[in-house]
Amino acid sequence: MVVGKRAMFETYVGLSNHAKEEILVISIGEPVPDEVKIANRDAQERGVKVKFLVHQFNKENAELLRSWVRMGLAVRYSKDKGFHLMVFDGKRSLLAANNPQQNVLNGPVW
């Protein structure tokens, strides 16, 4: 179990560094630390498919999502599910539940 954004992102980086085939992500579509971007880039360079299903597409994150597409990530939109899920090679996963007491978009990312 990990608590907080920092721990979640660190865990994501560690798991993505070991992925060999596919990383599937359900998330808000918010800015992430550079370490996560680098981990996604490195995974792609190893031939790992990185796919995102984002909960939000609006003027605040549109350019970010477009940049992910330019990087070669597969990005699709779906209504908010109330959680974030990351699956690595269909074997390991990281599940994060939203905290309704916090506005996740306005809090610090790292």
Nearest to 84 by CA among 11, 33, 26, 15: 26
Q: Where are the alpha helices (DSSP H) in the chain?
A: 5-18, 34-45, 62-70
Where residue 4 falls among pLDDT bands split at 50, 70, 90? confident
User: In what helix (H) or strand (E) does residue 51 lie, and over which residues does it extend?
Assistant: strand 49-54
Domains and CATH numbers, the chain: 5-97 (3.30.870.10)
Query: Has residue 108 got a pLDDT over 50?
Result: no
Please tell me the pTM assigned to this model.
0.79
* Contact criterion met (CB below 8 Å) for 50 and 43: yes
Q: What is the pLDDT of residues 7-36, one digit of tens each?
A: 889 999 999 999 999 999 998 888 889 999
Q: What is the pLDDT of residues 45-92, one digit of tens each?
A: 999 999 999 988 888 888 888 988 998 889 998 887 778 899 999 999
